[in-house]
A = this chain, B = another copy of it.
Amino acid sequence: MKPLEVTIKSKQNQQLKAWRKLKTSKGRQKAQRYLIEGWHLVEEAILSKAAIDKIIVSEANLALFNETFPTLNHPIEVLADFLVADLAETETSQGIFAVLAMATAKESWQPLANKYLLIDQVQDPGNLGTLIRTADAAGFDGIIIGDGTVDMYNDKVIRATQGSLWHLDIQQMALEKAIPLLQTHAVPVLATALYQKAIDYRTLDKTNPKVAIIVGNEGRGVQPTILEQADHLIYIPMYGKAESLNVAIAAAILMFHFV
């Protein structure tokens, strides 16, 4: 199955043109595909049995690639080295990419596991990626990404996840719809809120294996209508003069408390 020669030799190549479109959110939505880059991510995608359409290797990387993955069955294209920069999102590209199929939303999805992180309108790609990576490390089972959150297939998000996006059940769904589903399955829903309205997270029952935690936008926090649906409003006491915590930091403290 291993190609021995360069298959993509020109900027005008139709496949290359199609892949380039995956660099924008619009292009990804239309194709229902996304692009990843770098040895670590491609290896994680393979190991995680992610939905890989195609692996793209630069000519300079071909020998190392064949050595690293001697028994791989994925379709492979070999990119002329001068075209690497054309596809790369990073300044120092490693010359290895993959195109993957987006997960399709399931209308019948149910929260059958124990621990969920719910994300309400987080805007920074690094924050979203770190939230996904940290939820994985904390042993959370799933993530629900609400409307108005940054595109999870953005390359900066994927890099910050370090591959954790393929380890968890990730659903893109309105939180207004997800919260009652969780509650039907006896998962207590906790939302981070301001001091005045909320209780110290450490006062809650830690013995229940089920928990859902909602974190919100970097500036505004969780939307008021979402707060109203939650079972408990919680806060992290702060001791110094800092006014707030970064959203990924706050989520980490909470998730590792409820592990």
Q: Write the residues of chain A forming the contact surface with B, with a CB cutoff of 8 angstroms.
A: 48, 126, 130, 133-140, 162, 164, 167-168, 236-246, 248-249, 252-253, 256, 259
- Given that A126-B126, A130-B246, A246-B130 are known contacts, is A136 also in contact with B240, CB under 8 Å in the complex? yes
A188 → chain B, closest Cβ, in Å? Answer: 19
Per DSSP, chain A at the interface is loop
| CB–CB A137/B248 < 8 A | no
User: Residue A243 contacts which of B138, B162, B168 (CB distance < 8 angstroms)?
Assistant: B162
Give A251's nearest chain B residue, CB to CB: B249
| CB–CB A246/B134 < 8 A | yes
| CB–CB A240/B139 < 8 A | yes
User: Residue A242 contacts which of B167, B236, B242 (CB distance < 8 angstroms)?
Assistant: B167
Tell me the bound Cα distance from A168 to B168 in angstroms: 38
The 3 closest A-B CB pairs, nearest first, are A139-B239, A137-B242, A136-B242
A251 → chain B, closest Cβ, in Å? Answer: 9
User: Residue A241 contacts which of B164, B245, B259 (CB distance < 8 angstroms)?
Assistant: B164
A182 → chain B, closest Cβ, in Å? Answer: 19
Tell me the bound Cα distance from A139 to B238 in angstroms: 7
Tell me the bound Cα distance from A49 to B154 in angstroms: 41
Question: What are some 29 contacts across the A-B interface (CB < 8 A)?
Answer: A130-B246, A130-B249, A133-B242, A133-B245, A134-B242, A134-B245, A134-B246, A136-B240, A136-B242, A137-B238, A137-B239, A137-B240, A138-B238, A138-B239, A139-B240, A140-B240, A162-B243, A164-B240, A168-B240, A236-B256, A237-B259, A239-B259, A245-B252, A246-B248, A248-B249, A249-B249, A249-B252, A252-B252, A253-B253
A250 → chain B, closest Cβ, in Å? Answer: 8
Give A250's nearest chain B residue, CB to CB: B252
A239 → chain B, closest Cβ, in Å? Answer: 3
A203 → chain B, closest Cβ, in Å? Answer: 15
Tell me the bound Cα distance from A243 to B134 in angstroms: 10
Tell me the bound Cα distance from A139 to B134 in angstroms: 23
A155 → chain B, closest Cβ, in Å? Answer: 17
| CB–CB B138/A240 < 8 A | yes
Tell me the bound Cα distance from A256 to B249 in angstroms: 10
Tell me the bound Cα distance from A167 to B243 in angstroms: 11
